[in-house]
Chains A and B, each alone.
Chain A
Amino acid sequence: MTVVAGPGLMGFITVFVLAAFVGYEVISKVPSVLHTPLMSGSNAIHGIILVGTMVVLGQAHGAAQLILGFLAVVLATLNVVGGFVVTDRMLEMFKPKGADRKPKATEAAATDTAAGPGSGAGTEGGGTGVTP
């Protein structure tokens, strides 16, 4: 089964090697404050396995495949949605700050609510984010 019209094994290997270089080069000097958010963000990106699990479940026949495929889609969705939401929460510290310190508490609360739906929108079914 093909997800996309593939360029053949050699083509895939080429893409793999190039992607490895890009992945290595694209993050350069990361300040230690950002180590964890970057880890969490890239964690969300490998949630792209969701696309693969959807194709597998879409094509599944028989109980075993259906169960395994269903489980895979649930796990992949957890990865994607959880990954992006957690990363967004970690990065709230980088949101623009007001000039004054006192009114900032209310201002921050307002931005929080505004950011809720956007950050929760990892998939369909997102957007219900309620900031604790």
Chain B
Amino acid sequence: MSRATATDLVYLVAIIGFILALKGLSSPKHARLGNIVGASGMIVAVAWTFSLPEVYSHTRNLILIIVAIVIGAALAIPAARLVKMTAMPQMVAIFNGVGGGAAALVSLTEFISLPGKSLAIYKICEILFGILVGSVSFAGSAVAFAKLQELMTGRPITYPGQQAINAGIGLAIVALLVVTVVTASTTVLVIVLVLSLVLGAIFVLPIGGADTPVLISLLNAFTGLAVAASGFTLDSTLLIVAGTLVGASGTLLTRMMSQAMGRSIPNILFSAFGSVVTAGAGPDTEGRSVRSGTAEDIGVLLAYARKVAIVPGYGLAVAQAQHTARELADALAARGVEVYYAIHPVAGRMPGHMNVLLAEANVPYDQLEEMDDANLEMPTTDVALVVGANDTVNPAAKNTPGSPIYGMPIVNADQATNIVFLKRSMRPGFAGIDNELLYDPKTTMLFGDAKDSLSKLVAAVKAA
């Protein structure tokens, strides 16, 4: 068997591993196994690549490869292992961005290493596609990271003429792409690269923080396509298949995620453009009074309730309050109160965020209710205890057409007999809009860090 055939076979094994990984990751039962199968495929492919003459023939280059891999792994492992659960989405964004960057660099290096004029037109097109999509993904992920990490505001950033400016840059890139194909000029290519980075950044600016997970999923699909383009450039079936798998499944996943939020993808990507929504579109909440209670009052309310719904949100994640939440649930359950958690699919900063956190605190599965089931129980629930959630219980999603979150399914905490908000302040949630539920006569506020408030409630319930 020739080396080329052996390589093809090994890479085929890796490809099968990736397909099985995607299949496994879409079912709860096999998700973890799926990830391990994918990682194994990756190890096999990378290990075999070291046996290719292209990789080992120049000793100096081989050493550089090994050093680069060691550096990359030394940076990635601590970052990925030590990052808090709350910061997971940013990590995915950044790991996705660097993949896009790598794909763009591969295309760029291929372009400058080959004598320009000898390249077939389709080769130049492949390279340009890899650079364009890879750069957009890189810059877009970087901005998404900055938004999620709160290095910049999570609110949509809009400015006059935004649409025209974006369209202008898009057209300029298209024109320069044509120029590059005709002239094969490296200078023009570098300009394309820079403009693509700009396009990636300004494409993400108007997208609100709450929609960022969907955006990251889309950029993930983009990176997949950039990798596939690099595969065409390098004549590598492995890269084409793996990249395309991610591009296609990522597109589908993006659609599923936006459906879970009751939105369409174009709505998420472009709704902030020329949007007429202003703060005044919602009911006027200026000068309305809120009722705040003491932990003792609320403790009594909870202890003598029959059914309590805990509605967790990002505040729970930030305060790392999942263990305390479970303590409270246990204390209530010990008094015979029926407790369940109402889980909004996109509560927190990523879909499934709350499930991950609560599972970490060993909350029993049967207490976790998906939004639709929770909403069936909500009218018979005595107290909805909203822990650091805001947008996911905001009735404006049902009642205020024109609100940025209008149409998003919410947990109907407003239907419970009493509502208790544990919140740090009256500040609006991630979507940046006011929540009229805070002013509802049924609502009691308990201000403070979610973990402190929950500890006080545990003590109050035990004392009640």
Query: Which residues does A use to contact B, with CB under 8 Å?
Result: 1-7, 9, 12, 15-16, 19-24, 26-61, 64-66, 68-95, 97, 101, 104-105, 108, 118-126, 128-132
Once bound together, how far apart are the Cα atoms of A58 and B50, in whole Å?
Answer: 10
* Interface membership of B153, Cβ < 8 A: no
The contact of A53 among B4, B56, B105, B353, by CB within 8 Å, is: B105
Contact bitstring B57-69, A, C-beta under 8 A = 1, else 0: 1100110110111
Supply 26 A–B pairs (Cβ within 8 Å), ascending by A.
A2-B236, A20-B248, A26-B23, A39-B92, A39-B250, A40-B92, A42-B253, A44-B95, A45-B18, A48-B18, A48-B242, A49-B243, A51-B236, A58-B56, A59-B54, A60-B61, A73-B69, A79-B98, A82-B77, A83-B96, A85-B76, A94-B29, A118-B36, A121-B39, A125-B73, A125-B77
**Known interface pairs A34-B26, A57-B65, A123-B46. Does A65 touch B109 (Cβ–Cβ under 8 Å)?**
yes
- Answer whether residue B108 sits at the interface, using C-beta atoms and an 8 A cutoff: yes
Contact of A43 among B46, B70, B95, B356 (CB under 8 A): B95
Is B81 a contact of A130 with CB atoms below 8 Å? Answer: yes
Knowing A37-B31, A51-B236, the reply to whether A132 touches B72 (Cβ < 8 A) is no
Using an 8 Å CB-CB cutoff, how does the interface string of B77-103 with A read, 1 for contact, 0 for none?
A: 101111101001101101110110111
Q: Is the CB of B11 within 8 A of A4?
A: yes
Do the beta carbons of B247 and A65 come within 8 Å of each other? no
- In the complex, what residues of A have CB within 8 A of residue B71's CB? 74, 77
A81: contacting residue among B8, B73, B92, CB under 8 A: B73
Alpha-carbon gap, A24 to B56, bound state (A): 36
Contact B76 A87 (CB under 8 A): no
Residue contact A42 to B246, C-beta cutoff 8 Å = yes
Shortest distance between the CB of B34 and any CB in chain A (Å): 7
Interface size, chain B (Cβ < 8 Å): 124
Contacts of B280 in A (CB 8 A): none
Q: Is the CB of A54 within 8 A of B21?
A: no
Known: A4-B237, A132-B81. 15 other contacts (CB 8 A): A30-B26, A32-B257, A35-B217, A35-B253, A35-B351, A36-B89, A56-B113, A75-B99, A82-B80, A83-B96, A84-B39, A86-B92, A87-B25, A125-B73, A128-B77
How many angstroms from the CA of A53 to the CA of B359 in the assembled complex?
Answer: 38
Q: Is B220 part of the contact surface with A, judged by Cβ < 8 Å? A: yes
Spot the interface stretch: B223-231, B376-384, B387-395, B448-456. B223-231
A89 touches B80 (CB 8 A): yes
Q: Which residues of B contact A9 (CB under 8 A)?
A: 122
B22 touching A27, Cβ below 8 Å: yes
Q: Please provide the 10 A-B residue pairs with the shortest distance between their CB atoms, ordered closest to farther.
A: A77-B72, A23-B248, A93-B359, A73-B68, A79-B99, A85-B80, A19-B244, A32-B345, A3-B236, A72-B105
Q: A71 CA to B43 CA in the complex, in Å?
A: 20
- B1, CB-defined interface residue at 8 Å: no
Does A48 lie within 8 Å of B227, measured CB to CB? yes
Which residues of the partner chain A approach B64 to less than 8 Å between Cβ atoms?
A: 57, 66, 69-70, 73
| A82, B28: Cβ atoms closer than 8 Å | no
B335 to chain A, nearest CB (A): 18
A59 and B81 form a contact (CB under 8 A): no
The smallest C-beta distance from A82 to any residue of chain B, in angstroms, reads 4
CA distance A84 to B5 in the complex (A): 28
Q: Which residue of B88, B240, B370 contacts A16 across the interface (Cβ within 8 Å)? A: B240
Q: In whole angstroms, how far apart are the Cα atoms of A47 and B246 in the complex?
A: 10
Which residue in chain A gives the minimum CB-CB distance to B354?
Answer: A33
A79 and B81 form a contact (CB under 8 A) = no
B160: Cβ under 8 A from any A Cβ: no
Picked from A29, A72, A122, the residue with its CB within 8 Å of the CB of B102 is: A72
User: Is A59 a contact of B103 with CB atoms below 8 Å?
Assistant: no
Do A61 and B113 touch across chains, with their CB atoms under 8 A apart? yes
B235 and A72 within 8 A (CB): no
- When distances are taken between beta carbons in the complex, the residues of chain A under 8 Å from B249 are 23-24, 26-27, 38, 42
When the two chains form their complex, are residues A12 and B38 in contact, meaning their CB atoms are under 8 A apart?
A: no
Let me know if B246 and A45 touch, CB within 8 A. Answer: yes
B352 near A: Cβ within 8 Å? Answer: yes
Query: For residues 30 through 56 of chain B, which have their beta carbon under 8 Å from a beta carbon of chain A?
Result: 31-32, 34-36, 38-39, 42-43, 45-47, 49-50, 52, 54-56
Select which of B45, B99, B362 is within 8 A of A104 by beta carbon.
B362
Known: A9-B122, A49-B99, A105-B362. A55 touches B54 (CB 8 A): yes
Q: Say how far A10's CB is from chain B's closest CB, in angstroms.
A: 11
B1-17 contacts to A (CB < 8 Å): 4-5, 7-8, 11, 14
Per-residue A-contact encoding for B336-374, CB less than 8 Å = 1, 0 else = 000000000110001111011001101010000010000
Cα A97 to Cα B32 in complex, Å, equals 14
Give the residues in chain A near B14, CB-CB below 8 Å.
48
Give the nearest-CB partner of A13 in chain B.
B232
Contact between chains at A23 and B246 (CB < 8 Å) = yes
What's the least CB distance linking B324 to chain A, in Å?
15
Shortest CB-to-CB span from A41 to chain B, Å, is 4
Instruction: Tell whether, in the assembled complex, residue A24 and residue B236 are in contact, meaning their CB atoms are under 8 Å apart.
Output: no
Could you tell me the distance between the alpha carbons of A38 and B35 in the complex, rounded to whole angstroms?
9
Chain B residues with Cβ under 8 A from A71's Cβ?
68, 105
Check if B243 sits within 8 Å of A53, measured CB to CB: no
Query: Which residues of A lie under 8 Å from residue B5 when comparing CB positions?
Result: 5
Name the one of B75, B77, B95, B362 contacting A108, with C-beta atoms under 8 angstroms. B362
The docked-state distance in angstroms from the alpha carbon of A47 to that of B377 is: 44
Q: Give min CB distance, A68 to chain B, whole Å.
A: 5
User: Chain B nearest CB: distance from A79 CB in Å?
Assistant: 4
- Knowing A79-B99, A122-B73, say if A60 contacts B113 (CB, 8 Å): yes
